[in-house]
Structure 1
Amino acid sequence: MKKKLVAAIMLGLIAVSAGASVSAADVTLVLAEENAEDSLSGKVANYFKEQVNELTDGAVDIDIQCSKVLGSETEILDGMLAQAGTVDIERITTSRLTNYSCPKTASLGLPYLFESRDHFWAVAESELKDEIFDEISTLGVTGLSFYEEGFRSFFFKDAVTDVADIAGKKIRVADDPIMRGIVEGLGGSPTVISSGELYTSLQSGVVDGAEQPLSPYELNAFYEVAPNVILDEHTLGNAVYIISDLAKSKLTDEQFAAVQEAAQKAQEFNKEQSAQTDEDCMKSLADKGAVFTEVEDKTPYKEAVADVITENTKGIEDFYQAVVDLAK
Structure 2
Amino acid sequence: MMQVTRSLFLSLGFAGALLLGGPAFSQAGAEARVLKLNHTDTPSGARHQAAELFAKRVEELTRGKYRVLVFHSGQLGNDPQSIKAVAEGRLDFTASATGSFASLVPELNLTALPYLVDSYEQGWRLYDSSPWLHKQFGKMAAKGVRHVATWEAGFRSFTTRSPMTRPADAAGKKMRVFPNDMIKWIMESIGYEPVVIPVTEVYAAIQQGQVEGQENPIDTIRALRFHEVAPHIVLTQHVYSPLPFVASEALWTKLSAAERDQFSIAAREAATLSRRLVKEADERNLEAMGRAGAKVIRPDLAAFRKVMSGVYARAEKVYGADVQAILKDARSDSVAAGR
TM-score by length of 2: 0.83
Per-residue displacement from partner, 1:105-136 (whole Å, max 9, x unpaired)? 33222221111111110112215364243232
Check whether the contact 2:104–2:140 (CA below 8 A) recurs between aligned residues: no
- Quick check: 1:62 aligned with 2:98? no
**CA distance in 1 between partners of 2:318 and 2:57 (Å):** 36
What is the total number of aligned residue pairs between the two structures?
Answer: 306
The 1:141/1:196 distance shift into structure 2, 3 A limit, reads closer
* Structure 2 match to 1:72: 78
Identical amino acids, percent of aligned pairs: 24
Determine helix, strand or coil for the equivalent of 2:43. Answer: coil
Which of 201, 205, 210 is equivalent to 1:206?
210
Superposed displacement of residue 99, structure 1: 3.3
**CA distance in 2 between partners of 1:28 and 1:185 (Å):** 46
Per-residue displacement from partner, 1:221-260 (whole Å, max 9, x unpaired)? 3222211122111112212111122112442222221001
- Judge which range, 94-103 or 161-170, deviates more: 94-103
Which of 30, 38, 45 is equivalent to 2:36?
30
Superposed displacement of residue 20, structure 1: 7.6
Superposed displacement of residue 141, structure 1: 2.4
- Quick check: 1:323 aligned with 2:339? no
Structure number, greater radius of gyration: 1
* Structure 2 match to 1:115: 118
Letter paired with 1:118: E
Check whether the contact 2:154–2:278 (CA below 8 A) recurs between aligned residues: yes
- Quick check: 1:138 aligned with 2:142? yes
Check whether the contact 1:27–1:251 (CA below 8 A) recurs between aligned residues: no
The 1:80/1:55 distance shift into structure 2, 3 A limit, reads same
Letter paired with 2:325: D
Name structure 1 gaps, 5 residues minimum.
Answer: 1-18
Which of 94, 98, 101 is equivalent to 1:90?
94
* Cα root mean square deviation, aligned: 2.2
Letter paired with 1:52: V
Check whether the contact 2:153–2:220 (CA below 8 A) recurs between aligned residues: no
TM-score by length of 1: 0.85
Which of 260, 265, 271 is equivalent to 2:264?
260
* Structure 2 match to 1:10: none
Determine helix, strand or coil for the equivalent of 2:321. Answer: coil
Determine helix, strand or coil for the equivalent of 1:69. Answer: coil
- Quick check: 1:306 aligned with 2:312? yes
Structure 1 segment 1-328 matched on structure 2, within 5 A: 21-22=28-29, 25-82=31-88, 85-103=89-107, 105-128=108-131, 130-298=134-302, 299-311=305-317, 313-316=319-322, 317-328=324-335
Per-residue displacement from partner, 1:285-318 (whole Å, max 9, x unpaired)? 1212221221333332433533454346423122
**CA distance in 1 between partners of 2:36 and 2:283 (Å):** 32
Name structure 2 gaps, 5 residues minimum.
Answer: 1-25
The 1:308/1:64 distance shift into structure 2, 3 A limit, reads farther
